[in-house]
Structure 1
Amino acid sequence: MPERLHEAKPAVCGDVEDKMPDLDKELIAAAEEIRYLLGRGYPKNSAIRFVCDHHLLKEEQRFILSRNILAPAIASDRRNKRLICTDLKSRHVVIDGYNVLITLENYLKGEDMWTGDDGFIRDNRGVFSAHVNDETTCKALNLMIEMLVVHKVGSVIVFLDRQMSKSGELATFIRQKMEEVPIKGDVFTSGNVDNEIKRVSGNSIVATADGVIIDAVENVIDIPACVIAEREDQLFLHSLRPDIDHTIEGKIEV
């Protein structure tokens, strides 16, 4: 069962690493080959390994491909589950906390952002267990809360991975922010966030870009996309589908 924590205080710390190299034609070519193999039933890990070994791609490039390339049928199914931001009004929202906040943090830090084959925005850093709560975490949380208020959500449940450093402190901080607004809801830490979200999702809207969760639920929202769409700063969204690569100025498909 999820654990509800009350007394901890938020912590501050952390830095980021160097940015990833720019997108190149070889990476796009590899993506097309992987997509072709996945569409014909090849296992994803095997397809990525085979193509990346052939092209002698670096570990960072392999990671980008693994996060963003999908079999066309899976990509289409996920896109059909993706709701627009205005659908949040009066709805109950279940948020995959670290998934959403880490993506927003990396957006704020100027990291490369990607639109996957399924249309969901992801970063290319893969930070999870190494995550620390810092000032950028607070800024990301404020952006998320502001977006939820603007779109007049009915209620919110946030799940945080208990194994993450100081997750209890972050849960307390998020709960305080929700109470200040106010937003009806609560924050829980759990040893298995994926299962908790699947268990309680029902007719709720789930906020995540985690493909495993998206595949298991009915209605999904891309909170980072909603946040970015409402801001005026310019952002280049990478994509391994050339028809999607573009620079945006506060406007993306939401």
Structure 2
Amino acid sequence: MNNRNRGKNTGDDTLFGVQKQLDKLKMGVQDMLYLLSRDYPEKASSELVGNRYKLKTRQIQALRGASASEQQMKNRKLKQLEVSDLKGKVLFLDGFNILILMESLISGAYVFEGLDGCFRDLSGVHGTYKRVNQTQKAIEMIAEFFRKAAVEKLVWIFDKPVSNSGRIKEIVLNYAQENTLNWEAGLEYNPDKFLAENSEIAVSSDAWILDHCKNWFNLTAYLITEEKPDANLIKM
């Protein structure tokens, strides 16, 4: 096992652990709600709001992740399923999105609850996925959910262009085999499009997927409620 963590960046405590900074962020999210609901583009809106509150790059990233328009929130809510809806169903899981989010959560990185009730972190894949100390625990938590919810099958979808995607796919499949779980895993060049078009139920916190999929399940919110991990959660 390596010694890598998915934790905080240096300086995150200053950006997100101070009430004055959080107040600015929360006001910014309300401004974004106003602008996005009136069809202002996201990039221009976040730059405008970022300038207004003198936000740093990572704060703007958190702001964008937490923001949505009234129409998006309404649309996402209509398609959101409860855990009781999942029994005997096939779920398609946005592999890197969920795995990295869970790794961040259990390693004490700041995780933000957006206006749509979804949790998002500030970690990205950036072309390469690196397994961290929390990867195994994240997979175990997902397995626990799989059993409790009596899901028929879980299909993990990873981004093919990301290096090490084949390796994490094997880790997931080996774990499933060892623990007799009905899991599959696939690599896709455009996983977002694939998940939106090919799954009855998507498991993701990716905004584009939530806007374009048929139905979705908020796995991270479920795991936070069930497992109560010691986490740095910020409600926006």
On whether the aligned pair clears a TM of 0.5, the verdict is yes
Is residue 230 of structure 1 aligned with residue 226 of structure 2?
yes
Aligned ranges 1:2-17 → 2 under 5 Å: 12=2, 14-15=4-5, 16=7, 17=9
1:188 corresponds to: 186
- Matches of 2:145 and 2:183, distance apart in 1: 15
Segments of structure 2 that go 5 or more residues without pairing to the other structure are none
Is residue 45 of structure 1 aligned with residue 35 of structure 2?
no
Contact 1:13–1:133 at 8 Å: present in 2 too?
no
Deviation for aligned residue 1:12: 4.5
1:128 corresponds to: 125
**Aligned Cα RMSD in Å?**
1.9
Contact 1:208–1:220 at 8 Å: present in 2 too?
yes
Deviation for aligned residue 1:233: 4.2
Contact 2:100–2:123 at 8 Å: present in 1 too?
no
Deviation per CA, 1:131-163: give whole Å up to 9, x if none: 311331111111111111111101121111122
- Matches of 1:199 and 1:108, distance apart in 2: 31
Is residue 214 of structure 1 aligned with residue 233 of structure 2?
no
- Matches of 1:36 and 1:200, distance apart in 2: 33
TM-score of the superposed pair, with normalisation by structure 1: 0.83
Deviation for aligned residue 1:122: 1.3
- Matches of 1:181 and 1:142, distance apart in 2: 10
Is residue 29 of structure 1 aligned with residue 27 of structure 2?
yes
In the alignment of these two chains, the number of paired residues is 227
Contact 2:97–2:205 at 8 Å: present in 1 too?
yes
1:93 corresponds to: 91
TM-score of the superposed pair, with normalisation by structure 2: 0.88
Contact 1:34–1:48 at 8 Å: present in 2 too?
yes
Deviation per CA, 1:15-39: give whole Å up to 9, x if none: 4433342252222222222211112
2:201 corresponds to: 205
Contact 1:96–1:158 at 8 Å: present in 2 too?
yes
Deviation per CA, 1:149-205: give whole Å up to 9, x if none: 11110112111112223111111111112223322231111221112212321xx21
**Identity fraction in percent:** 23
Segments of structure 1 that go 5 or more residues without pairing to the other structure are 1-10, 241-254
Aligned ranges 1:112-123 → 2 under 5 Å: 112-123=110-121
- Matches of 1:41 and 1:194, distance apart in 2: 23
Q: 1:150 aligns with which of 126, 148, 151?
A: 148
- Matches of 1:233 and 1:29, distance apart in 2: 27
- Matches of 1:208 and 1:225, distance apart in 2: 11
User: For 2:134, what is the secondary structure of its paired residue?
Assistant: helix
Contact 1:13–1:132 at 8 Å: present in 2 too?
no
Deviation for aligned residue 1:109: 0.3
- Matches of 2:72 and 2:101, distance apart in 1: 22
- Matches of 1:131 and 1:166, distance apart in 2: 6
1:7 corresponds to: none
- Matches of 1:139 and 1:88, distance apart in 2: 23
